[in-house]
Structure 1
């Protein structure tokens, strides 16, 4: 199609009997849907019919605003003239919208300015994405809340909301619930310091169709889990919890086992994803009782003792990633995990140590259900049974496929 556009603009002749300007609107719409925005804009200059097709509402239901400062970012940005045109002619057509901003406060404020003008649209999905540092947190809170409230009030069928790293607060969540409680299915709001446990509990109490939820651990409570487990609530599919330490020695509360049990009874197939970024001395409240975590990621060093508790109290574990452990071999801990975590199918080990014999035994116990096995070569310690040259053959035999440990790039 772009070849045809080029030919028409340069005075080239079209194929005999083919009038590109008379293509049916339905066909143009189908073609335009596969074109990048810039190519669609070029095509719209060919003739009046193609320009009309460029403005068809179906082409503007899904849009990503990319807001970057040229002086500080190499990423492409949505042209200001196009933004004005969208607000003027297509704001009431927008349904699936995201804002991708760079690290500058100016870009985040520009996103808020656009949101404030979307008074005639009813969004179904909204995503606010910071590509570097959380620039939305640098915007004056009142400006951000005012812009977000415009969307919450005018969108009566919002089903997906991703507002991680933003200054959203409890009152604005009440506005969200008041206007979209029947339709909201996905809410991601990790690192939102102005939201309280009571604020997120209000959402769970009213939005009975919520299926996916992501938040920080300080917002998690027994009351929240019980609300998500009520008879009125649909089965939860995905719960992500970020456990992040802001200061060394931070205290973390404990969630009762009975609350987790209620969650499992209500939603037996839900995924519980937990990301831990804690210092070793802060793990005291965790993994002392059974917890239904399915995907577990340790972003900082974690002790042998904690991993031992994981092996005893995480029977639903499917995926485990340990970025660092220290210099004490994890032989016993890995064997315990293989024995008790019978659904484990993926594991990744970074700065840890495991003897080759224990690792082979771990793989042997897990067998071919280990679909992902990412182990750095430096993790494996040769012993009297296996050398590094021999271990990949033994592991490959138990996995039923060729396997090699990962190697650190040398560049």
Structure 2
């Protein structure tokens, strides 16, 4: 935390007048930041051109920049140049429970007073406390004169924003949604965002919105996100939970008016087995999306229990990146090999004690775009693994396999395996080792 005396130039409109001697002493105290400087230096830092000082300030951390603003009047003037306030991250935390260092309250007030209309790329990083999330909402509520293009709300740990009242959160967002009118990127995961707030967003920013990331927003319904897809025809990137995904949404993203979608991230999450019944997306809807946006990356993160996978990959699905955070069955991996021809990356956290030779070979045969593979707590024989790598060849640019996954057989030991795999990959490769500490 900056001492109040060190921020005098930050919290006042004008830097204090200093004697030539004290100014030179202060200037030299910044030698570690501005370059080597000593008492005999001929450089007059106080009289450098504005554009040079501005360039130096752009590379300074906020704390150093704030301290430097108290050196002289000229440096304080540069400190307030709008270009330095286009991008800002507010850090809000409770000192007793968090490692984050909060942005000083005096600096926050000065930003609201003098630089709100300069802010364009803004994020709020908060700890897990409700107080920090509410403080972020209070700041948002004061950004009446703003022209924000990018807004991000980042919780370093839950619950944070989810503990803020829905009305307070919606009111704060409405201020930004209504006054900015040029929002292009919004990242608001794990928040009480709701359908009415999305309608306000669309009403004021439909022509500019390109990225919307809103996973784990339980108050948003499929109808709410469909409103976004129907009217924000410039949307290129979208991240959401699977329960919001629908055939109607995919068809809306595939309309003639809509630009090509570049990235669709879908989180498939279950906290308790059997609590959620997962629906199936029709093949025709997936086909429409890929026909409209042939280069789209469709990324799916699965955090399900084995018995909950029944609704997925029964038909061809154009997924490109698959991540399984919990145990996934052999049958499920077999369906992936049969029905995911666009697959580029596959990461399996765990499978159990049944070798996956046949499943991996099927994936190598049918997933011609596969370039990255990661296996955690699984089993595959050395022969099966070598066959998989041989079929994929040099296109496997990323291959991360724990040594414990590989089962030696009569034909291949672990020592010979790494030589064979390296030969087929065209580069030196070794399995990952479990840390010993």
TM-score, normalization by structure 2: 0.91
Query: Is 1:308 aligned to 2:322, yes or no?
Result: no
Secondary structure of 2:358's aligned partner? helix
- Quote the residue 2:194 is aligned against: 169
**Distance change >3 Å, CA 14–CA 233, structure 1 → 2:** farther
Other structure's SS at 1:142 match: helix
1:297 match? 323
**Alpha-carbon separation, structure 2, partners of 1:134 and 1:395:** 45
Question: How far off is 1:88 after superposition?
Answer: 1.3
- Distance in 2 between the 1:73 and 1:64 partners? 17
Q: Out of 283, 301, 313, which is 2:309 matched to?
A: 283
- Aligned mates of 1:6, 1:52 — CA distance in 2: 16
Q: 2:137 aligns with which of 112, 127, 138?
A: 112
The one of 363, 370, 378 aligned to 2:404 = 378
Cα deviations across residues 152-177 of structure 1 (Å, max 9, x unaligned)?
00011000000000000000000000
Question: Does structure 1 residue 81 correspond to structure 2 residue 106?
Answer: yes
**Matched position secondary structure for 2:162:** helix
CA contact (8 A) 1:9 1:46 kept: no
Structure 2 residue 278 is the aligned partner of structure 1 residue 257: no
Q: CA deviation at 1:15?
A: 3.1
Question: Distance between the aligned counterparts of 2:29 and 2:308, measured in 1?
Answer: 68
- Cα distance in 2 for residues equivalent to 1:262 and 1:4: 68
Cα distance in structure 1, aligned partners of 2:182 and 2:365: 46
How do 1:211-222 residues align onto structure 2 when only pairs under 5 Å count? 211-222=236-247
Provide the C-alpha distance between the structure 2 equivalents of 1:136 and 1:359, rounded to a whole number of angstroms: 45
| Alignment root-mean-square deviation, CA | 1.6
Matched, 1:367 2:367: no
Q: Secondary structure at the match of 1:213?
A: strand
In the TM superposition, residue 262 of structure 1 has moved relative to its aligned partner by: 0.3
- Provide the residue aligned with 1:185 in structure 2: 210
SS at the partner of 2:410? Answer: coil
1:169-192 per-position Cα deviation (integer Å, ceiling 9, x unaligned): 000000000000000000000000
Once the two structures are TM-superposed, the CA of residue 6 in structure 1 deviates from its matched residue by 4.1
Match of 1:143 in 2: 168
Tell me the residue number matched to 2:13: none
Matches of 1:172 and 1:103, distance apart in 2: 23
Maintained 8 Å contact 2:209/2:232: yes
Deviation (angstroms), 1:245:
1.1
1:57 aligned onto 2:82: yes
Displacement after TM superposition at 1:67 (Å): 0.7
Contact (CA 8 Å) 1:103, 1:131: kept in 2 or not? yes
- Correspondence 1:29-68 to 2 at 5 A: 29-68=54-93
1:7 aligns with 2:28: yes
1:8 positional shift: 6.8
From 10, 20, 24, the counterpart of 2:45? 20
Q: Unaligned regions of 5+ residues in structure 2, if any?
A: 1-23, 32-36
Where 1:145 maps in the other structure, the secondary structure is helix
Unmatched segments (≥5 aa) in structure 1:
none
Deviations 1:312-362 (A, max 9, x none): 000000000000001111010000000000000000000000000000000
Which position in structure 2 is the counterpart of 1:337?
363
- Are positions 1:388 and 2:414 aligned together? yes
For each residue in 1:36-94, what CA deviation from the matched residue of structure 2 results, as whole angstroms up to 9, or x when unmatched? 11111111111100000001110001000011111001122211111111111111111
Return the alpha-carbon distance in structure 1 between the equivalents of residues 372 and 346 of structure 2: 6
Which deviates more from structure 2 when the two are superposed, residues 394-403 or residues 4-13?
4-13
Q: Deviations over 1:237-292 (max 9, x none)?
A: 00000001132112101100000000000000000000011111111110000000
* 1:81-136 Cα shifts (integer Å, max 9, x gaps): 11111111111111100000111111111100100000011100000001111310
2: CA distance, partners of 1:251 / 1:14: 75
Q: For residues 9 and 226 of structure 1, do their structure 2 counterparts lie closer, same or farther at Cα, with a shift above 3 Å needed? A: closer
Query: In structure 2, the residue corresponding to 1:293 is in which secondary structure?
Result: coil
- CA apart distance, 1:404: 0.6
Match in the other structure for 2:374: 348
Distance 1:383 1:141, change over 3 A: same
State the Cα deviation string for residues 341-397 of structure 1 (Å, max 9, x = none): 000000000000000000000000000000000000010001111111211011001
Q: Distance in 2 between matches of 1:59 and 1:274?
A: 38
**How many residues matched?**
409
